[in-house]
Chain A
Amino acid sequence: MPYSRLLSVFAIAWIRQIPAFLLSIVAGASLYAAPAEPTLKAAWEAAEDNQAGLAYRIFRSLQGREGIDERERQFGEAVSVLNVQPRTAENIRQAKDLFLELLKGDDRFAGLSEFFLARLHADYTDPRDLPTAKRFYRSALERGTGDPVVETGAARLVNMTEADHPQPEDAIRALNELEPLASQLKTPQGKRTYHEAMGQGYILAGDLEAGLRHHLIAESFGFTRRQTEAASWVTIAEAARELRKNDIAAEYYRKFLAKYLRDSRSYLIAKKLRELEAANHQP
């Protein structure tokens, strides 16, 4: 297999972008040609469909258009330019400027912009700027907009403790300091992700009691994602068993077996449940 063959793969990789490029020119041209067609709705649908490039072009084409909510458009432009390829420092700076501009308002886009500014500093800038990211997560929460996405910032703050504090005692201290965040959360999604993260953080650091408490709160909001639900139930049951809270352990083992029999852990869990029940019946 000669080197030229490998190069031809790169050629294909590039050549295959030509139709997309041409299409994008056509799409772009058609946007300008037909001003009635592009809408914020179409742009958001493209963004939701993982087509950030297309979404960005539509948002840009809507600039200055009558009847368009300019703040929503700006926000759309900022969140979509983050994923326009190739991702460059210039794109990131453009998004940052737009988000900072949006912070001046006092609507839902201000809160969301603050959250995404945190994301931008946490993962997009080179080098990453974690102190600024944490500050933006916190200030976004303090706004109290009640937006579920903004409130997931609390869980992201919690998750950071794992890499920041490898030693269990430091991690527990850091998690304790994050306990007050709970009072700032209004949405079930925000509360659930926060308590789930806290539960996992505590259990990883070895504080089963606190971990179980948070996991039980998270679980009370219910999960729609099956893998998260299954993992949460097993963790609750295991932590409760360790803490000799056999009733809770048995309850969650049963819940798991009732719903997730097609899981590689189900046989082991059934065995653990039997052992637990046998222990409960012993005098």
Chain B
Amino acid sequence: MRERILNTIGFGLLAVCFVVALGRTLWPKPKTESGENVVTIRIAHWQLEGGVREAIDAMARAYEAEHPGVRVVQIPIPERIYTNWLITQLVGGTAPDIIQIGIGISDERLSRFFVPLTGLAEEPNPYNKGTDLEGIPLRDTIFDGMRGGYNEALIEFYGVPLSGTSIRAYYNLDLLKKVTGSEKLPTNFREFIELCKKVEDYSQKTGEILLPIAASRYNGPQLMERLFDSQTQKLVQRENPVGTLEFQPTLTLRRYAEGDWDMRTPELLSGFELMRAVANYMQPGFMQLQRDDATFYFVQGRTLMITSGSWDSTSIRSQAPFRVGIAPIPAPTRDDPEYGEFILGPLSEAGSLAAVSFGLTRGSPHPKVAKDFLLFMASQRINKIWTDVSGWLPSVVGVEPHPSALPFKPIMEGYPSGLNLAPTPDLKRIWATNAHLLFGPEGSAERFAAAMERDFLRASTSDLRRQLTSIELNGKRSDTVLAALAVQAGDHPDDRATALKLDLAIQAAATNDRNLQSTRAALKASEQALNSQP
């Protein structure tokens, strides 16, 4: 009898839990509480680095103070699960009002679930009233013309960016003082290499286990790419007959297939040798380590230097029990006796795009308030709060970065980048799988070049094929849009907005078609070269 009662109670509890859970799933608690005249808007992002949550919180509280009927809720989501979370929220119709865009949002999802902000971009930001940006269209108040929030394929602005980013070298100042007796950071490659040698000597002399550079398969390539870049700047200019002075990835791959350059071209060999020279000062086997491992090495005081983005600045500073110095990556200069020959000059960061871009979801129950909060965050006054609290760079013109963000200000007096040898999935893969031949104990530039030469054409052909599919897809999608705009513009010849949109669509489609044919030409050349290989 007792057992039966207990069973009934257990079953009853289970049934109640099930019904409650089912109820909560089918009729979720309204995400926006409009009761008692309080409007709640939610903002989601994946920037869990130190300072960002606090900064968004500060901006939200400032907005609430000025708009008593509004409550802003922040939803930080880890980067690793952001895509899955986002898709579920968007499809389930429970997405927050404002969402950081960039990860996991394809063009089709962007157009389906997000509000185009092109109209907003052309209007002045009302929150800039009384400042020197008053009356200026929003897009021109962001340092990159809001290109960081623009989608080329959809010909629309979808995001308003809040920050700028750059990659720098972080130094352990206490260790630097201990090793060299001074806190002077290296300003060029030679000084940096001298410093690395001093760290090794110091380590041997004192028996303290110290390494010059903390690296991982995340941080290592950041430094390596910048160094390799320096050796291929002139090569890129030479291999670009179109005269745009920029790296043209597709054309460069075509030129490779046609035999204009290869892995043993002096610029590339020099780049490989430079990377190997620096890798000697990193932890052995750094390519098997991850981002957190390298940061751990650095903040534990086991290394003098680490390379990372401005986004890690606040986290590193808060974790490190020592003072941190920040300086540009010490790439070789033109007068370097060993590596100066192929260099144009320091790398320009003038063209870097604004980041931490936020978009508005179509399903927002309070689109007006959400849009208003977005404009509020992108105003000069509030972007100052952003930089001051997060320690990240601002995105709004005229906002003075917080002193801790100053070392990350973009380098304007520099030159266009060099060759990126691994911009696409399969080229990235062969770079990663052959890296041990360059960085390993028995590695060499020649061994690495030979392995890359063996794999490069197959990988680049595969990537070009994938690129072609993607460009074709964009072209096809834009066909329906072009037709719609053509008909609408024909129906309303006086509608300037439609005419402008059609004009932009035509130019974007023309660029896409040009890329399509260039990719086809490059793929054709690559396939021919591949077929003629023994």
Contact = CB atoms under 8 A, between A and B. Distances in A.
Is there any pair of Cβ atoms, one from A and one from B, under 8 angstroms apart in the complex?
yes
Contact of A148 (B479, B483, B506): B506
A52 interface: yes
A83 to B, nearest CB: 5
Interface string B498-522: 0010111011111101101110110
Contacts of A51: 111-112
B486 A148 contact: yes
Given A49-B111, A227-B511, A112 B517 contact: no
Contacts of B488: 44, 48
A147 B506 CA distance: 12
A16 interface: yes
A18 to B, nearest CB: 9
A119 B479 contact: yes
Interface stretch (A26-34, A175-183, A256-264): A256-264
B511 A155 contact: no
Contacts of A238: 243-245
A50 B111 contact: yes
Interface string A173-203: 0000000000000000100010011001001
B251 to A, nearest CB: 8
B417 interface: yes
A76 B417 CA distance: 45
Interface stretch (A60-68, A160-168, A275-283): A160-168
Contacts of A242: 243
A189 B412 CA distance: 34
A16 B243 contact: no
B487 A228 contact: no
Nearest to B417: A264
Nearest to A171: B521
A103 interface: no
Contacts of A172: none
B78 interface: no
A142 interface: no
A79 interface: yes
Given A50-B481, A75-B487, A264-B348, A123 B244 contact: no
A186 to B, nearest CB: 14
A265 B514 contact: no
A136 interface: no
A16 B350 contact: no
A156 B513 CA distance: 7
A82 B511 CA distance: 21
A55 interface: yes
Contacts of B532: none
What is the predominant secondary structure among interface residues of chain A facing chain B? helix
B527 to A, nearest CB: 12
Nearest to A84: B480
A149 B490 CA distance: 11
B486 A159 contact: no
A83 B479 contact: yes
Contact of B511 (A48, A163, A228, A268): A228
Interface residues of A, number: 68
Given A50-B111, A268-B416, A152 B483 contact: no
B480 A200 contact: no
B54 to A, nearest CB: 29
A254 interface: no
B483 A155 contact: no
Interface string B234-249: 0000000111111000
Interface string A1-44: 00000000100100010011000000000000000000000001
B351 interface: yes
Interface in B55-102: 84, 87-88, 91-93
Contacts of B486: 112, 147-149
A235 B91 contact: no
A72 B487 contact: yes
Interface string A111-152: 010001001000110000000000000000000000111001
B245 A269 contact: yes
A121 B415 CA distance: 43
A156 to B, nearest CB: 5
Contact of B413 (A75, A87, A262, A267): A267
Given A19-B92, A206-B241, A262 B506 contact: no
Contact of A228 (B258, B417, B484, B507): B507
Contact of B521 (A79, A163, A269): A163
A90 to B, nearest CB: 16
Interface string B44-60: 00000000000000000
A98 to B, nearest CB: 12
B112 A50 contact: yes
B503 A189 contact: yes
Contacts of B245: 234, 238, 265, 268-269
A166 B525 contact: yes
B243 A235 contact: yes
Contacts of A79: 479-480, 483-484
Interface stretch (B173-181, B210-218, B278-286, B469-477): B469-477
Interface in B166-198: none
B93 A19 contact: yes
A108 B487 CA distance: 9
A189 to B, nearest CB: 5
A268 B415 contact: yes
Contacts of B352: 264
A152 B111 contact: no
Contacts of B520: 162-163
A159 B517 contact: yes
B344 interface: yes
A152 B509 CA distance: 9
Nearest to A147: B486
A239 interface: yes
Contact of A264 (B350, B503, B517): B350
A144 to B, nearest CB: 15
A210 to B, nearest CB: 14
Given A12-B88, A265-B246, A265-B416, A197 B514 contact: yes
A48 B244 CA distance: 32
B452 interface: no
Interface string B396-433: 00000000000000001111110000000000000000
B188 to A, nearest CB: 18
A47 B483 contact: yes
Contacts of A246: none
5 contacts: A50-B112, A55-B480, A112-B483, A262-B145, A262-B351
Interface of B: 84, 87-88, 91-93, 107-108, 111-112, 143-145, 152, 154, 241-246, 258, 344-345, 348-352, 412-417, 472, 475-477, 479-490, 500, 502-504, 506-511, 513-514, 516-518, 520-521, 524-525
List 4 A-B pairs, minimum CB-CB distance, nearest first: A264-B351, A238-B243, A50-B111, A47-B484
Given A82-B479, A264-B416, A266-B412, 7 more contacts: A16-B87, A47-B480, A116-B483, A148-B503, A189-B502, A238-B244, A264-B246
